[in-house]
Chain A
Amino acid sequence: MKIRRSVPGFTIAVCVLLGGLLAAFTVGRYPVGLGDLVNVLAKVLGHRTDVSPAVESVVLQVRGPRVVAAMLVGAALALAGTAFQGLFRNPLVSPDILGASSGAALGAVVGIYLSLGVLAIQAIAFGGGLIAVAAVYVIGSAVRSRDPILVLVLTGVVVGALFGAGVGLVKYLADPYNQLPAMTFWLLGSLSAIATADLIPLFGPIAVGAIVLIALRWRMNVMSLPEEEARALGVATGPLRIAIVAAATLVTSASVAASGIIGWVGLVVPHLARSLVGPDFARLLPAAAILGGGYLLLIDTVARTMAQVEIPLGILTAVIGTPFFIWLLASMQKTWS
Chain B
Amino acid sequence: MRFYEALGLEPKLALDSEELKKHFYERSRQWHPDRYSRSSAAEQQKSLEMTSVLNDAFRTLRDPVARAEYFLEQKAIVPSKHVPPELLEEVFEMNIALEELRAGDETARPQLVEARKRFNRMRDEIDHGISVLFLRYDEAEDASHLLAIRSVLDRRQYVANLIRDVEKELNVHVSN
Whether A associates with B in a native complex is no
